[in-house]
A and B are shown apart, each in its own frame.
Chain A
C-alpha cells in the first residue's frame, strides 16, 4: 500500500541535543522494518518523526512517495500502537476503536461493520462493551492493535508495543503481530530494544546506536555478518564473544600470548569474535588445524534445557559457549574451546568489520 522513505533525517532538540544524526532508510511496500537499539539511540524519536509527533529538523520523510514533513499525524494516514497502549480510559472498547473513524467522518454503518470485523479478527468481539480498566494487559494490547487496524492506514507504527506484557504473552503476541502484518500487507515500522523481537519480526532490521544506523539488512544477514562490534554484541543472546588481539612479528596473538595459528584478514584487525553457538569444547589435546583453540577454565554452567551455556575464562576474557543438551563440564574443569576459522569475525580499531 505504501513505501516509507527516510532521507538523511535529523532531529536536534532546542536544548542542542542531537537525538538522530542523519538516518536514511528505504522501506519497501508491505514490509516490516524493525528499529532496534539500546535506550537513547534515537529509535523512538525516529518513529515519532515518521508519525508526525515530532518535527523533523533536517532531511525528509516520504510516505507513499509523498514528502510528509509539513503535514500532521492525522493527514499522514498512519496508525500507531503505543507502549502503554494509550487507550481512552473512559470509552468502551467499541468506542476506542471507532473514535478515529468517527473523527474522519466515516458513515455510522461502515464504522460498525469495520469495528465488528476487526474485533472478530482479534477475538475481541465479546469485549466490545468493556472499558479498558476491565481488560487484562494482553486484551488491552489487542484493543490497541484493533484501533490501528480498523483505520486501514497506509503505515503501522509500533512503539515497543510488547514491553509491558509478560514473557509468554509477548511470545504469542509477537507471532500474532507478524501474521496480522503479513495478512493485511501494511507497511510497518516497529521499534524495540529486544533483539529477539527484532530478529523474529523483521523483514528489514535496522540496528541503531547513538543516533546513527549501524547496520541495515535482513535479520539473518545482520546476525551472520555484523558490520561492527556494536551490532555483534547487540544482536544475539548471549552476545558474541569478543577477544582483543595484539599484533606481533609472528602474526596476531591473543591478550595472554596465545598464538592464533593462522592469518587474520588484513592487518588492521584488533578484535576477534565468535558466537557462543559457533564454538565447541573438547577435553582432548589433539591438534586442530584451521581452528581457534583456547585453553579455558569453566566458571559456571547454565543449563537451559535443550542447551547449556558454559561461562569460561579464556585468553584474559570471559567467554560463553553454547553446547547442546546437558553439559558434561563442571565449574572448575580445564578444557579447550574450539572455534572454526570461517566462523570468526574480525573488527578493526574503529570497531568496523574486517573481511
Chain B
C-alpha cells in the first residue's frame, strides 16, 4: 500500500528533504562561515558557498590559540572536553552497572532502601545540589582539575535503573547454571553479565558521552582558568557583546569542531546498536 503510487513517493521524499534542509542548513551555514575571513562575515550578506580560508582558519584555531579566551587553542579545549565526556560516560557506566548488579543479584539488609535512595536522586537535578557540591569541590582543592569536572557528575540513577531493568530480564536459571559451573560473583559478572550487557553499555555510552560533552553549568562553575575550559564554555566566552570584538570566523570553526566528536561517537556506535538489535540475544 504505502509508497506504491509515484505521487506518494514524491511527497514522501519532499517532506523528508525539507526536514533535512531545516536541520542541516544552519550547520552548513556555520561551516560556510568558518571558511571565510572575519571581514567577509562582518559584511553581510554572507555568501552561500564556502570561501578559501578553510585551512588558515582551522589551523589558527586548532594550533594558534584564540585571543579572547587567553590564547588557548581549540585543540586543548577538545582535549579537555573529551576527557570530561569520556570520564563521565565511563564512570557513570561503571558505577551504575555495579550498583545495579548489587541490587539485583545480591540479598543484603536494606537492599530496597538503597534502591529507593538511588531512585529518589532521579528527582534531584544537578542544579539543586550545585552549591554544596561546589563547596565540597573547593574544600577538596578540585577546582580547575579534571577530577573536579568529572566526579560530581559520575553517579547516575537513570543508568542504574536501566541496568537494573536489563538484569531483571536475565533468567534465574542462567545465574544458577553459572553457580553450578563454579562461577563466583566476579566471574559471573565478567564472564556472563558484562558480555550480555554489551549492547546496553554501547547505547548508554552514546547517551552519556553526549550528556558529558554538552555540560554547561558545572564546567562553568568549576573551571576558572582558560586552559581548563570545555569547548562549550569557551564558545560562550569567545562571543563578545560588541560584534567587532568577536572573531566570528574562529567561533564558527570552534562550533564546527565541537560537533565532530559527538557525531563520531554516534556514527561509530550506531553499528553496535544495529548489530545488537538484529542479533537480539536471549
- In whole Å, how far is B180's beta carbon from the nearest beta carbon of chain A? 5
A83-B173, A86-B171 are known contacts. Are A104 and B182 too (CB-CB below 8 A)?
yes
Please report the C-alpha to C-alpha distance between residue A80 and residue B176 in the assembled complex, in whole angstroms: 9
B195 CB to closest chain A CB (Å) equals: 4
Selected from B176, B187, B282, the residue in CB contact (under 8 A) with A89 is: B282
Given contacts A83-B173, A89-B281, contact A78 B180 (CB under 8 A): yes
A99 with B183, Cβ < 8 A, contacts A83-B173, A88-B192, A133-B282 known? yes
Give CA–CA (A218, B192) in the complex, Å: 41
Once the chains bind, are B181 and A100 in contact (CB under 8 Å)?
Answer: yes
Does A168 touch B at the CB level, under 8 Å? no
Interface residues of A in 52-74 (CB under 8 A from B): 52-53, 72-74
Nearest chain A CB to B168 CB, angstrom units: 16
A140 → chain B, closest Cβ, in Å? 12
Report B-chain residues with C-beta under 8 Å of the C-beta of A241.
none
- B174's partner among A79, A86, A104, A147 (CB-CB below 8 A) is A86
Q: How far is the CA of A86 from the CA of B179 in the complex (A)?
A: 12
- Across the two chains, which residue of chain A brings its CB closest to B174? A86
Q: Closest chain B residue to A82 by CB distance? A: B173
B60, CB-defined interface residue at 8 Å: no
Q: Which residues of A contact B181 (CB under 8 A)?
A: 74, 99-100, 103, 147, 151
- What is the CA–CA distance of A83 and B172 in the complex, to the nearest angstrom? 11
Q: Complex Cα distance A275/B177, Å? A: 41
Residues of B within 8 A of A51 (CB): 176, 180
| Contact-residue bracket for chain B | 10 to 19
Chain A residue at smallest Cβ distance from B195: A90
Chain A residues whose CB sits within 8 angstroms of the CB of B182 once the complex forms: 74, 100, 103-104
30 contacts across the A-B interface (CB closer than 8 A): A51-B176, A53-B176, A73-B179, A73-B180, A74-B180, A74-B182, A82-B173, A82-B176, A82-B177, A83-B173, A84-B173, A86-B176, A88-B191, A88-B192, A89-B281, A89-B282, A90-B195, A90-B281, A99-B181, A99-B183, A99-B191, A100-B180, A100-B181, A103-B182, A103-B187, A104-B182, A133-B279, A133-B281, A133-B282, A151-B181
B41 within 8 A of A: no
Instruction: List chain A residues, Cβ under 8 A from B183.
Output: 99, 103
Cα distance, A78 to B181, chains bound together (Å): 9
Q: Are B177 and A80 in contact (CB under 8 A)?
A: yes
Is B196 interfacial (CB-CB < 8 Å)? Answer: yes
A250 to chain B, nearest CB (A): 59
Measured CA separation A100–B127 after assembly (Å): 49
* Complex alpha-carbon distance, A82 and B192, angstroms: 17
Residues 265-282 of chain B, each 1 if its beta carbon lies under 8 Å from chain A, else 0: 000000000000001011
Main SS class of interface, B: helix
In the complex, how many angstroms separate the beta carbon of B121 from the nearest chain A beta carbon?
29
Which B residues are in CB contact (< 8 Å) with A78? 180
| Cβ-defined contact, B281 with A86, below 8 A | no
Smallest CB separation, B200 vs chain A (Å): 13
* Contact across chains for A79 and B173 when beta carbons are under 8 A apart: no
Instruction: Tell me the A residues contacting B by CB distance below 8 Å.
Output: 51-53, 72-74, 78-80, 82-84, 86-90, 99-100, 103-104, 133, 147, 151
B180 touches A80 (CB 8 A): yes
What does the 1/0 interface line of B162-189 toward A look like (CB < 8 Å)? 0000000001011011111111000100
CB distance from A136 to the nearest CB of B (A): 15
- A88 and B196 alpha carbons, distance in the complex (Å): 9
Which chain A positions have C-beta within 8 A of B176?
51, 53, 73, 80, 82, 86
> What 13 additional pairs, Cβ within 8 angstroms, besides A53-B176, A89-B281?
A73-B179, A74-B179, A78-B180, A80-B180, A82-B176, A86-B173, A86-B174, A87-B177, A88-B177, A88-B192, A89-B282, A90-B196, A99-B191
Within 8 Å CB of A90, what residues of B?
192, 195-196, 281
Q: Which of B171, B173, B196 has the most CB of A within 10 A?
A: B173
Contacts of B187 in A (CB 8 A): 103
Q: In whole angstroms, what is the CA distance A52 to B177 when docked?
A: 12
Q: In chain B, residues 3-23, which have Cβ atoms closer than 8 Å to a Cβ of chain A?
A: none
Q: Would you list which residues of chain B between 177 and 213 have a CB under 8 Å from chain A?
A: 177-183, 187, 191-192, 195-196
Q: Are A79 and B196 in contact (CB under 8 A)?
A: no
Q: Are B180 and A79 in contact (CB under 8 A)?
A: yes
Assembly CA distance A74 to B187 (angstroms): 13
Give A57 Cβ to nearest chain B Cβ, in Å: 16
- Distance in Å: Cβ of A6 to nearest Cβ of chain B: 19
Most buried by A among B182, B195, B282: B182
Residues of A within 8 A of B174 (CB): 86, 88
A103 to B173, CA, bound (A): 18
Bound: A104/B174 CA distance, A:
18
Nearest CB in chain B: distance from A76 CB, A: 9
A89 to B174, CA, bound (A): 9
Do A53 and B195 touch (CB < 8 A)?
no
CB distance from A83 to the nearest CB of B (A): 7
In the complex, A216 Cα to B195 Cα: how many Å?
Answer: 45
Q: How far, in whole Å, are A90 and B178 apart by their CA atoms in the complex?
A: 13
Q: Chain A residues near B178 (CB, 8 Å)?
A: 88
Report the nearest B residue to A84, measured CB to CB.
B173
Whole-angstrom distance between the Cβ of B192 and the nearest chain A Cβ: 6
A residues less than 8 Å from B179 (CB atoms): 52-53, 72-74
